[in-house]
Every structure is written in C-alpha cells, then in structure tokens.
Amino acid sequence: MGDVRVETRYNNRTIEGVLVLSNNNAQLVFGPTRLQVSVERYFFWKYRIRLTRPNWPLVFLRGNSSNQFPIELIELI
C-alpha cells in the first residue's frame, strides 16, 4: 500500500519513524534503512517498554492494554 512518515512524542522527545503499510498490517520502523528496527524492539531497547501491535489507524498499545501510544502522521513518502 505504501509508506508513511510519522512522528510521536515520548518523554518530551519527538521520535520520527516510517510506518510501512500492507494490506492487513502496519509496522513502524525507525532509523537508517540498514539499521531499521521495529517499534517494539526500539522502545524495549531504549525505554524497556514493551509495545504491542497497533490499533488502526495509528495507535500503539504500550505495556498493558490501558495505555495507548498515539502516532502522528507527517507525510506520505
């Protein structure tokens, strides 16, 4: 379907990434192409927070299901 550049704020930091869209799934990746990691791995490595798969359109669940992690669309790429 295409890719979307997105950003979010976490602990007063702006984090940018690329949301890769497929027919039934969306995966958020960060960093240079050769170093891209999934948002789950990135957040666990950086903040020791485990994320689950997103609820459409652009909301990731963080930790348990009571916490939501919103993703803001910047532009289509």
- Range in 14-18, 42-46, 67-71 the model is least confident about: 67-71
Per-residue pLDDT band for 77 (boundaries 50, 70, 90) equals: very low
Write the CB contacts of 50 (distance below 8 Å, at least 6 apart in sequence): 40, 43, 44, 62, 63
pLDDT-above-90 percentage for the chain:
0
Q: How many domains are there within the chain? A: 1
Per-residue pLDDT band for 21 (boundaries 50, 70, 90) equals: low
User: DSSP character for 47?
Assistant: H
Please compute the mean of the pLDDT values over residues 40-46 and round it to a whole number: 72
Return the pLDDT at 17: 72
Q: Is the peptide bond before 57 cis (omega within 30 degrees of 0)?
A: yes
Q: What domain range is 70 assigned to?
A: 2-76
Which tokens hold the place of 43? 């957040």
Give the chain's mean pLDDT: 62
Which tokens hold the place of 40? 């789950």
